[in-house]
Amino acid sequence: MTEAVADMETLLRGGAAGISLLLALALGFHGRKSQTSLLAALFCLSTGIYVLISGRTLPPAPIPVIVPLAVVAIWGTVFFWWFGAAIFDDDFRWRWWRFLPLVLMPPFFLGRVFGLFEGALANTLLFIHLLLNALMFADVLRLAIVNAAGDLVDPRRRFRIIISVVVAVFGIGIAVAEMTETSTAIPDWVVRFQAAAIFALNLLFGAWLLSPRTSLFAPETGAAPSRLVTDEASWEAQADTVSPADRPAYDRLIALMDEGVYREEGLSVAVLAEKVGLPEHQLRKLINGALGFRNFSAFLNARRIEDAKAMLADPEHARKQILQIALDLGYGSIAPFNRAFKQATGKTPSEYRKDAIGRD
């Protein structure tokens, strides 16, 4: 590698690391109010460290320094996984299994790098390490794609596309490069391209993200927006806060909901927008802005679950199967109904019915 090329790689990596650390500081400061922002800060921090220690032009650091830095860099995929789950899943909750990769990944990677494991064992551990990375990238990709059509937050809808492209192209590329490196030396141009790509992505991501994104980084994950409206009477009262230009469309929306349009199986934003007589993007903005819902399924569930509670507590419906209730309310199967009902009430439909009328 010529001196000029080495200097260029160093500049690119230094610039990318600087942007990553700047983003980490900015997002971390915002993270006092937003869990999603804090997780993005952790990911940016690990990215900056990864960029620095993965280059070939930097002088070697002593083991007491490089090991903790390498661990944080290894955790980058975990932080990215957490961030993706928090931003794309409005029902995100912390579970014990989300912390497993933090424990599993460092020994797999560091043991091989420092020669603690050799031969078939080292290759097996590398495979497990890369498999964990691939699974977490795949899960973020899944979350970015699933329910994208029902996302009511415009910046987040666009962000899903960005994440999908980055994960599909860049994340998979890094995994392939790491696997290839075990059997053959990676050409210098690949390393330089990686540095340039990370620099460009960080620059574009930083310019886009540091502009005001209050609807993207919502208040603490899991907390309902302060204006979230979930009952029919409040929906009617909320009309006073709707702009005069949006009021006719809002009235048509509420009328359709009162008529039971939410019970139609497979109802989508596009179908409802056509019924209301609005472009799809305007209906998304109306539901999100006027009623506080961040995804379309939550908007429908607000009415569906109230109907379900009434039916389950009504002795006249005591013999009606729960599956039939779910189908009548527009659910395609019982599983999403059970999941939505328990999330809203803390009980399964069967438990709710038993408590209400004493029937299993």
- The reply to whether 44 and 107 lie within a common domain is yes
- Residue 225 lies inside a defined structural domain of this protein: no
Give the integer Cα–Cα distance in Å for 153 and 287: 10
CB 76 within 8 A of CB 50: yes
DSSP string covering 193-241: HHHHHHHHHHHHHHHHHTS--TTTS-SSTTSPPTT---SHHHHHHGGGG
Q: Is residue 214 part of a domain?
A: no
Quickly state the pLDDT bin for 15 (edges 50, 70, 90). Answer: confident
Which segment of 62-76, 101-115, 292-306 scores lowest on mean pLDDT? 101-115
Given a contact cutoff of 8 angstroms between Cβ atoms, the answer to whether 70 and 110 are in contact is yes
Between CA 294 and CA 286 the distance in angstroms is 11
Mean pLDDT of 212-234: 51
pLDDT band at 225 (very low <50, low <70, confident <90, very high): very low
Please write the tens of the pLDDT for every residue from 34-65.
888 899 889 889 988 888 777 655 556 566 66
Asked if 44 and 92 sit in the same domain, the reply is yes
Whether residue 197 is found in the same domain as residue 280: no
Domain count, the chain: 2
Residue 159 maps to a domain: yes
The reply to whether 259 falls in a domain is yes
Is residue 319 helix, strand or coil? coil
In sequence order, what are the residues at sequence separation of 6 or more whose Cβ sits closer than 8 angstroms to the Cβ of residue 244? Answer: none
- Single residue among 209, 241, 272 that ends a domain in this structure: 209
Q: Same domain, yes or no, for 200 and 284?
A: no
Q: What is the pLDDT of residues 107-157, one digit of tens each?
A: 776 666 666 666 777 777 777 888 888 888 889 888 888 878 888 888 888
The last residue of a domain, from among 149, 177, 209: 209
- The helix, strand and coil proportions of the chain, stated in percent and rounded to the nearest 5, come to 75, 0, 25
Please check whether residues 26 and 149 belong to one and the same domain. Answer: yes
DSSP SS3 for 243? coil
Instruction: Estimate the crossing angle of helix 349-357 against helix 334-345, to 10 degrees.
Output: 60
Enumerate the β-bridge partners of residue 295.
151
For residues 351 and 238, state if they share a domain.
yes
| Domain interval for residue 327 | 232-357
Is residue 201, in this structure, part of any structural domain at all?
yes
Residue 319 placed within a domain:
yes
Shared domain check, 304 and 336: yes
Taking the mean position of all CA atoms in its chain, how far away is CA 59? 37
Same domain, 194 and 262: no
Pair 203, 237 in one domain: no
Q: Give residue 220's pLDDT.
A: 47
Kindly state whether residues 67 and 189 are assigned to the same domain.
yes
Domain check: are 239 and 175 in the same one? no
**Residue 124: what are its φ and ψ, rounded to 5°?**
-65, -45
* Residue pLDDT, tens place only, 312-341: 998 888 888 999 999 999 998 999 999 999
Is 224 a member of any domain?
Answer: no
For tokens 């280059």, the residue is 55
Exposure string over 32-44, b if 16+ CB within 10 A, otherwise e:
eebbbbbbbbbbb
Cβ atoms of 234 and 240 closer than 8 Å = no
Q: Could you tell me if 110 and 148 lie in one domain? A: yes
In the chain, the amino acid numbered 209 is L
What pLDDT was estimated at residue 222?
39
What's the CATH code of the domain at 352? 1.10.10.60
Task: Examine residue 308 and state whether it is found in any structural domain, yes or no.
Answer: yes
Domain boundary among 158, 176, 209: 209
